[in-house]
Structure 1
């Protein structure tokens, strides 16, 4: 017999041997000897009150053994000589599109502008240490996309877009721990993602797919509204039949190319703001109600905050407990910040984007002459402003949190995880009023919700501008561009995803759509 039940343990109970077996037996009113196994289906932490609980959803096996754990099987087959599907971009959407093509019996030809994970590391070192930005290899571009070196959080609300469990199991198949199948807010970690991405690459190559690095697409050749070929940066023309466009939200050259060719685009609402960084122990103390170090059974604490300010959402984004702030610029002359965490989340700082919702048709009317690219141009202006105010390098402008809210220049700044360094700057006046004034009100409200959050020990760092694409590449119900036959906009770059899992699910859907009818 198998029973699915809910159990909870306290921190003290969590250290007791076989505690779940004991609690399951008591809950079911049976001898503990009858409990053969307790399999954890889901685990979460409830820290809303002073007594902290671990909540479990479990399967209890009574007088019978659980089934043997079969290896995950995705039915990959040799597609070396199969019909080709071209995929532009090798981030989560592109990777999962390629894997799904192989499952369906089609050969993926992947074109990635950046380098593989091993070579990419040198360019990340260059931007952190020497402030040199490689436009094709950075924290956004390269094997695995932005997800490879910017955390690996796997939380998504996009439950209707595809099979989330299937995406998670595929990650396990390629090297992620099975813990991601259990945790309520699963996370892989920046230090472990490169190997997992490499394993996905090896699977694609093993079954006959192709992956071409340093292969930026610079043109689309279109005849009678049908995509016939793509052109690479070296001038090579590549005939195509179906193309999945999975270039990510920072591939601005693709938006410019499509706009130049008068291929339909739409301006899309997005969000911009700053990244705030606290010492991790402050967030732990707030969330876990502790005065000293957190209990070692508890992970670094996180938070999620939202407030409505003047009819716009102000909210936390990509919160990274025990993490780092990293430079996410994709071109010289701009400063962009993002966050990431290693798997153990054991850095001394916690950081999060705090951003303001921007409705393009209302909030940035003076950019209307840029048409569908007006949000993109607004982004660029703020990133250039951050570059200038930081000293014209990858040093980022920053302020103590309390000084930002009170409108004062900081005489000095707190220590930070941001390797290129920080420079004191009046972000409160540099940011447009649309963003700055709402952030100041938002931080005040967040301090009331989380006592201790509003503190001079936190830094505000600018700018957090790449939360999502400011441009939408339209597609019809068959996921194909309504004007260009054979072009399938996909993932974050198309405006159809907002993270690793939603992008992966959209990649699978686009692979299914692109191969349909062939």
Structure 2
């Protein structure tokens, strides 16, 4: 058995393998070879000075076989196996497909958007020229919204499945080994497309199918059971089980389900803005005024505050990142965040959002299960109008936003299509705007210097979670009224973020096997 030890080192020491080896030797009392060390955990403790790095190590002796960093997943050839239809090629859909390969069923993935290569060109056209393709953008296309994100691979929902398997699958498909041991692992938007493509190749190589630029517009139902799906081009696919993994931006899917009499529920969600600071300022706050240097990552933060009975919190914090246009319709404006693997942008951004409960949704009774969706769209249209049309985003200096005064000028901003000065504090719905203002004041008490006019608020961040749930049985994971339909992931209201969606996709695949076999 390897010897498991923990080292507490300075950032510079933790970046030097020879120093790590010598420290391990002193702790264990015997020589340690650098190539017999396996990292099991790495985290930064910046709560006080001096900043320390906690390293978990497994140290092997010279004659001991070293454990593989990643198990070998046994994918079967499923070309002639029973098909399972998967709607959506985001994290939930892709991981459901990979799990089906292991379990011996054939994944048939239908994705409304394009493969990752041409999708990248569409995203570039959106950034540079404001040209929006409603089926190929930051939300839709191979890999889903997760492809163009920071690629954060940590989750607080670890009771629902084996999140380590998710990290191992990413590593198997090209991610750096650091994701297996970093406390706050991430991949980066520049590396995710290649990993997503490698997953596609695994699915196809083992007999699965992927149909791009094909939207599902209806479900085939016979005798109260799923029998397949209808495609936008009029084609049909037959299957006794459908995994619905469409993500929360596929609003037309909710409409389709409602028209077919399939039960939906309104649920709580969150909306707000994206705030961007100079990364150097966040580093200075989080690292107690000392320079980040070469051995500390771009600093992040996580903030939460209760304001008038609602949570105000940071979401999808992207250190060293960029704000990006995440709209999926031409007359609405949505922003999100991303960062590359090195997180080397001079900006730090995060969604700062307000919890929206069912009591907060105007017209809930008359709007039915899609009332929250309508509320989202109202906010997105306001942002579109106040940005002047297109994908230019409305923005306001942070201190001005909190004070309720217009900004005559704006600081530099990473948002590629550009920002225009707009009084968000005046036109955001009052329950959201005033809670954001109070939340920012509270955050500044925790992170001194956070509330500054060197930061900018950009609107709007409205797609943090789904305002709709597709109800399913907790044991079988099937829809409560329709056998053979397995809603999963963010769009179904059961996950949030890459890892939890991937775990939910795997669970859906396992539930399908129990249903069919």
TM-score, scaled to structure 1: 0.97
Kindly tell me: are residues 40 and 465 of structure 1, through their superposed partners in 2, closer, same or farther at Cα, counting changes over 3 Å?
same
Note the C-alpha offset of 1:32: 3.5
| Match of residue 20 from structure 1 | 20
**1-side partners of 2:498 and 2:200: how far apart?**
16
Cα-Cα RMSD: 1.6
* Aligned pairs for 1:269-288 within 5 A: 269-288=268-287
* Aligned pairs for 1:487-498 within 5 A: 487-498=485-496
Moved more, 231-240 or 498-507: 231-240
Note the C-alpha offset of 1:310: 0.6
| Match of residue 243 from structure 1 | 242
- Report whether the alignment pairs 1:414 with 2:411: yes
| Match of residue 388 from structure 1 | 385
- Report whether the alignment pairs 1:439 with 2:419: no
**2-side partners of 1:6 and 1:33: how far apart?**
14
| Match of residue 3 from structure 1 | 3
Whether contact under 8 Å (2:113, 2:141) holds in the other structure is yes
The superposition leaves residues 310-350 of structure 1 with CA deviations (integer Å, 9 ceiling, x where unpaired) of: 11110000000000000000111000000001000000100
Moved more, 465-474 or 57-66: 57-66
**2-side partners of 1:2 and 1:449: how far apart?**
42
* Aligned pairs for 1:162-311 within 5 A: 162-290=161-289, 293-311=291-309
Of residues 349, 366, 370 in structure 2, which corresponds to 1:369?
A: 366
| Match of residue 128 from structure 2 | 129
- Report whether the alignment pairs 1:427 with 2:428: no
Kindly tell me: are residues 310 and 203 of structure 1, through their superposed partners in 2, closer, same or farther at Cα, counting changes over 3 Å?
same
The number of residue pairs the alignment matches comes to 515
| Match of residue 323 from structure 1 | 321
Note the C-alpha offset of 1:15: 5.6
Whether contact under 8 Å (2:362, 2:375) holds in the other structure is no
Of residues 335, 349, 352 in structure 1, which corresponds to 2:350?
A: 352
Note the C-alpha offset of 1:450: 0.4
| Match of residue 151 from structure 2 | 152
Note the C-alpha offset of 1:367: 3.8
The superposition leaves residues 151-202 of structure 1 with CA deviations (integer Å, 9 ceiling, x where unpaired) of: 2111101111111111111111111111100100000000000000000000
Kindly tell me: are residues 18 and 247 of structure 1, through their superposed partners in 2, closer, same or farther at Cα, counting changes over 3 Å?
same
| Match of residue 500 from structure 1 | 498
**1-side partners of 2:32 and 2:173: how far apart?**
37
* Secondary structure of the structure 1 residue equivalent to 2:272: strand
Of residues 450, 459, 463 in structure 2, which corresponds to 1:453?
A: 450
Moved more, 468-477 or 224-233: 224-233
Note the C-alpha offset of 1:18: 2.1
| Match of residue 473 from structure 1 | 470
Note the C-alpha offset of 1:130: 2.4
Q: Which runs of 5+ in 2 are unaligned?
A: none
* Aligned pairs for 1:503-514 within 5 A: 503-514=501-512
Whether contact under 8 Å (1:36, 1:64) holds in the other structure is no
**2-side partners of 1:506 and 1:420: how far apart?**
34
Note the C-alpha offset of 1:435: 0.5
Note the C-alpha offset of 1:64: 4.5
| Match of residue 89 from structure 1 | 88
**2-side partners of 1:406 and 1:96: how far apart?**
46
Kindly tell me: are residues 87 and 14 of structure 1, through their superposed partners in 2, closer, same or farther at Cα, counting changes over 3 Å?
closer
* Secondary structure of the structure 2 residue equivalent to 1:156: coil
* Secondary structure of the structure 1 residue equivalent to 2:491: helix
The superposition leaves residues 246-268 of structure 1 with CA deviations (integer Å, 9 ceiling, x where unpaired) of: 00010000001111222100001
**2-side partners of 1:149 and 1:33: how far apart?**
41
**1-side partners of 2:488 and 2:370: how far apart?**
18
**2-side partners of 1:151 and 1:514: how far apart?**
31
Note the C-alpha offset of 1:224: 2.7
**2-side partners of 1:208 and 1:33: how far apart?**
46
| Match of residue 342 from structure 1 | 340
The superposition leaves residues 108-139 of structure 1 with CA deviations (integer Å, 9 ceiling, x where unpaired) of: 11100000001112211222222222111110
Note the C-alpha offset of 1:106: 0.7
**2-side partners of 1:63 and 1:150: how far apart?**
41
| Match of residue 481 from structure 2 | 483
**2-side partners of 1:70 and 1:413: how far apart?**
48
Moved more, 143-152 or 233-242: 233-242
Moved more, 351-360 or 254-263: 254-263
**2-side partners of 1:36 and 1:138: how far apart?**
43
Note the C-alpha offset of 1:78: 0.7
**1-side partners of 2:133 and 2:14: how far apart?**
48
Moved more, 264-273 or 19-28: 19-28
Note the C-alpha offset of 1:25: 2.9
Note the C-alpha offset of 1:17: 5.5
Kindly tell me: are residues 15 and 6 of structure 1, through their superposed partners in 2, closer, same or farther at Cα, counting changes over 3 Å?
closer
Kindly tell me: are residues 248 and 12 of structure 1, through their superposed partners in 2, closer, same or farther at Cα, counting changes over 3 Å?
closer
Whether contact under 8 Å (2:397, 2:456) holds in the other structure is yes
| Match of residue 312 from structure 2 | 314
| Match of residue 52 from structure 1 | 51
The superposition leaves residues 72-130 of structure 1 with CA deviations (integer Å, 9 ceiling, x where unpaired) of: 31111111101110100000000011111111111111100000001112211222222
Whether contact under 8 Å (1:21, 1:37) holds in the other structure is no
| Match of residue 117 from structure 2 | 118
Moved more, 235-244 or 323-332: 235-244
